[in-house]
Structure 1
Amino acid sequence: MHKKPIATVIAAILALGLGACGNTSGAPASSATGSTQSQTAQPTETESAEQPANLIGTWKQTNSNSTDTWMEAEITADTITIQWVSDNGDTKSLYWKGTYTAPDKAGDWKWTSQGDTAAMQASLLGSQDATKDFTYTETDGVSWETTAMGTTVTVKTAKQ
């Protein structure tokens, strides 16, 4: 009865795991121009005026190894809900549902969500964790670790 969605989700989990294994990106590539501009960053006025990240919205996975399967987070002022999305968006399965306190100052972009374990337990693909750590950076968006079938992947996202 549910064989196709389950098979699709398992394929997605494997794709996520294999995609993470092939990621060899490291530090940004250096300039090939040989420019000798200052190597140290000078503080600017905008750095002192930094605000906490605006997390509210939909965040879609950017490092999925599949075009029709990914993870997607919906973040409100105090909740985070993450879905496994497959069949190009036609199928969604709950992975995480929890509350959190949004970062309230610049640079404080790490937080822990308290899971709704009853809701996740009712989902075949729901997390079994009571808490989950999240991070926000400009380069990786909202990110978190997901473990499935013995493979841990850091899911990176972009705001939609």
Structure 2
Amino acid sequence: MSFSPKTLAATAAVAALLAFGATGCAGSAPADTPATTSKKSEANPSPSESPTPTKTEAPKPVDLSGEWKQSNSQSEEMYQVATIAGSTIEINWVTDGGSTKSLYWAGSLEVPQDGSQTFAWDSKNDTGRTAGAMLASSEPSKKITYADGVLSYEASAMGKTVTVELKRA
């Protein structure tokens, strides 16, 4: 199997990114940490007064759709971007300052319907899309976490693993 010079250059760039440029963030709260809520004290209504009924809206799920860009890359030339549409997430390696994109992940997206602001899901790999991509992950699933406006996951290539953090582009 032969690869084009551009593909080989992209592979070398990704290896350099993992070896020297990307850093992880160890200070994040675990995805399964429950959100804190505040309790409001309610005054006891007098027997002659009836409590006023309040309308409560059903919580809305977080909308992750759109474009996301790696926020913890150490290089403007090499980073990851993601596109979320419907129930899918696609992540690409970007090299050459944005002129070359290589598929890293294509998988499922699961957003809780209860309005949770911090959660994680196991994205299932769409191997029909990733099988032929040279820089794509071959893992059957990938744990992706959403917290405080940041998507995070581990990315591995050539024996090096880093935590990638993405923010809305």
TM-score by length of 1: 0.75
2:146 counterpart of 1:136: yes
Secondary structure class of the residue paired with 2:21: helix
Alpha carbons 2:102, 2:133 under 8 Å: kept: yes
Q: Which moved more, 1:100-109 or 1:57-66?
A: 100-109
Which of structures 1 and 2 has the bigger CA Rg?
Answer: 2
2:155: which partner in 1? Answer: 146
Give the Cα–Cα distance (whole angstroms) in 1 for the partners of residues 62 and 80 of structure 2: 20
1:119: which partner in 2? Answer: 129
Q: Which runs of 5+ in 2 are unaligned?
A: 29-35, 41-57
- The structure showing larger relative contact order (alpha-carbon pairs under 8 Å, at least 6 residues apart) is 2
Give the Cα–Cα distance (whole angstroms) in 1 for the partners of residues 21 and 26 of structure 2: 12
Alpha carbons 1:53, 1:109 under 8 Å: kept: no
2:38 counterpart of 1:43: yes
Give the Cα–Cα distance (whole angstroms) in 2 for the partners of residues 44 and 13 of structure 1: 50
- Quick check: which one's helix share is greater? 1
Alpha carbons 2:105, 2:125 under 8 Å: kept: yes
Alignment of 1:55-94 (within 5 A): 55-94=64-103
1:119 Cα deviation (Å)? Answer: 1.4
1:78 Cα deviation (Å)? Answer: 0.2
Secondary structure class of the residue paired with 1:15: helix
Q: Which moved more, 1:102-111 or 1:84-93?
A: 102-111
Identical columns (%): 37
1:11: which partner in 2? Answer: 13
Give CA deviations for 1:21-50 in whole Å, capped at 9, x if unaligned. Answer: 5x68858xxxxxxxxxxxxx99388xxx97
- 1:92 to 1:148, Cα distance in 2 relative to 1, 3 A: same
User: What amino acid sits opposite 1:9 in the alignment?
Assistant: T
TM-score by length of 2: 0.72
2:104 counterpart of 1:109: no
Give the Cα–Cα distance (whole angstroms) in 2 for the partners of residues 44 and 145 of structure 1: 36
Secondary structure class of the residue paired with 1:12: helix
1:126 Cα deviation (Å)? Answer: 1.1
